[in-house]
Structure 1
């Protein structure tokens, strides 16, 4: 099994090529991963790295994986991707929304390298996109949150005002309101994917404002720790199980399972069958998992949440099913109408009942 965590410089790679020293055996497929946070974040990056390790376990010495963690979204990302390509990567997974333009830019310079960008929407002949329908998991969290809140005030730690995050807020709110029409959401925009200090501060602010349930779309376990310290505050794991905070305050979780996708796309490169595609899977195909709903959740609520999970997985229910209005009261979805993927992919509005504006 081959793995490296540090990249040689482009100059070193060029020198090796000039003197005829191969960087690796020709039958070894080299796969790179670019991470926005540390692999030990306990959330988003941790689960992506589990997918990388699954690739190694699946293919053994036929694959070499490399990764770089804590890569800011912007020029640094483009530099890291370029270094990976120069150092012989056959396939590069770029695992954060803000890597979208850097991925497209670098891919144009390396047409023989395959790129896979997580959560974005720009594709090219050698760039695929992939994401998970996290909003399906948010529906289940919203149901539990709306059922368990005593203050009727639910907090939400949001990362960046992009469609992925807005979808999650809307889905959680819709399903919290279905079981508790008195629920209100307070949203704090952290403007980070991973910053434990900021995330802890956001959680503390929400708790001080009366929120006894806190959801998060950020990657660290800091909000869980803040809730645990506060006492009677319900939380949910984000991207990973965050099981160390169960059975309370963490009563369930959204778990991202990237391993099957990473294995399949690596296999496609090996087989020469890789094509540019757009993948958006959810609970049914297994890309989104729902962590155990603990006994801290009332038995009736737990049964309802599990039934909702199963209905979504089977395709019998869609979390965005009308009647639903936009925040300004205008009709969005008629009774029984289901949102189309195009609208969801570009969602830039709140549903009726949510207070506040989406930051520009």
Structure 2
């Protein structure tokens, strides 16, 4: 327990006894220390970059009332546990651990530091002092799947995937759902690179897909390498997590944007005023956690209008990316017409929808 945590309850009790007031716990005297752990470099222009944009938003919002720390390029596993442990042991009040593989290390450290608040991104295990949060990235992938379906001439879309976990599988399937809602003949080819950030592997995957006839690339990896290959080879591509148009101005259709700023500001404020509690948050387009970036000038106006309507329909609930009927690769009906896959099943998704060309790794 640090000095602030020890003194605050005492001072609050004295104030209440002296003035007859019940004052909430406050961090006004000392800056709240907020830590961030990133799996990739903040210069990846993808996942870790956007989380760091959220950290910077916290600093801008609260000024000298907060002190933030970040550690980048942290391997999932034992390295993550050491980093999280050090942040907790050095007086951080709130720690965001921002990769799926940080889940168990976060829980281990949280058990040792029950007074520290932890927030883990994309996981599913919680504790009294560990909240979880993620975004419905699949909503953005459904929108861009529709756009890809209108932009493709070969009817073959490429998808560069990181690891075969439900989050990534959902994104592939949502892309197909959007794609086939406007272009039933189109298919998606997938290459797995087994890395979140490896520009060399991502670039090679992009080349392999283009060699197989792909003319629109999507990705669930974090470097702009696929965009750069698309630019060189004269095909289209969609940015990951942030606007990547500077890397490929002739290829970059738009981007699926991750925006963590509002959530990070909210949880920091809750820590400041003593109202933080463990939550399970899954935000999407409606909440602003997921957005679609600016469309390139070369995207036809009717395609932009279609995407904008789909965005509004997802916000209103008129469109659900996983609305039935949905068949899997084998032709089995998985979702009946008029029904949608519930969140619990989406969180554990481990099968491909019809329209994916390839085998899901086991």
Q: Deviations over 1:148-189 (max 9, x none)?
A: 111111110000001110000001011111211221211000
Out of 254, 260, 263, the position equivalent to 2:265 is 263
The answer for unaligned runs of 5 or more in structure 2 is 3-26
Counterpart CA distance in 1 for 2:31 and 2:299 is: 48
Instruction: Give 1:184's aligned residue.
Output: 187
Q: Which residue number in structure 2 is paired with residue 322 of structure 1?
A: 324
The TM-score, its normalising length taken from structure 2, stands at 0.91
Q: Structure 1 regions of 5+ residues with no counterpart?
A: 1-12, 14-23
Give the corresponding residue for 2:252.
250
Match of residue 176 from structure 2? 173
Of the candidates 148, 158, 170, which is equivalent to residue 145 of structure 1? 148
Instruction: Indicate if the aligned counterparts of 1:30 and 1:91 stay in contact, CA closer than 8 A.
Output: yes
Other-structure match for 1:300: 302
**Deviation of the 1:300 alpha carbon:** 1.6
Q: Which residue of 2 aligns with 1:50?
A: 53
Distance 1:244 1:354 in 2: 30
* Bigger Cα displacement from structure 2, 241-250 vs 115-124: 241-250
Counterpart of 2:206?
Answer: 203
SS of the aligned residue for 1:238 comes to strand
Q: Which residue of 2 aligns with 1:116?
A: 119
CA distance, structure 1, for counterparts of residue 178 and residue 107 of structure 2: 36
- Report the alpha carbon displacement of residue 339 of structure 1 after superposing the two structures with TM: 1.3
- Indicate yes or no: 2:345 matched with 1:343: yes
Pairwise CA RMSD:
1.5
Structure 1 counterpart SS, 2:84: helix
Superposition deviation, residue 304 in structure 1 = 0.9
Alpha-carbon shift at residue 105 of structure 1 (Å): 1.1
Q: Which residue of 2 aligns with 1:20?
A: none
Corresponding residue of 2:16: none
Is contact 1:203-1:226 (8 Å) kept?
Answer: yes
Q: What residue number does 2:40 align with?
A: 37
Indicate the residue corresponding to 1:234 in structure 2: 236
- Number of residue pairs matched? 337
SS in 1 for 2:68: strand
TM-score, L = length of structure 1? 0.91
Offset, 1:25: 9.7
- Contact 1:158–1:189 at 8 Å: present in 2 too? yes
State the alpha-carbon separation in 1 of the partners of residues 112 and 144 from structure 2.
42
**Which secondary structure state, in structure 2, belongs to the residue aligned with residue 101 of structure 1?**
helix
Farther off after superposition, 131-140 or 289-298: 289-298
User: In structure 2, what is the equivalent of residue 215 of structure 1?
Assistant: 218
Q: Take 2:149 and 2:193, find their aligned partners in 1: how far apart are those partners?
A: 23
Alignment counterpart, residue 273 of structure 1, candidates 258, 272, 275:
275
3-state SS of paired residue (2:345): helix
Which of structure 1's runs of 4+ aligned residues deviate more than 6 A?
A: none
Residues 262 and 211 from structure 1, CA distance in 2 versus in 1: closer, same or farther, beyond 3 angstroms? same
Partner-residue secondary structure (3-state), 2:33 = strand
Provide, for residues 122-143 of structure 1, a one-character-per-residue CA deviation record: whole Å limited to 9, x for no partner: 1000000000000000011100
Note if contact 1:247-1:296 (Cα within 8 Å) is conserved in structure 2.
no
Offset, 1:314: 2.0
Q: Residue 246 and residue 303 in structure 1: after superposition, are their counterparts in 2 closer, same or farther (change >3 A)?
A: farther
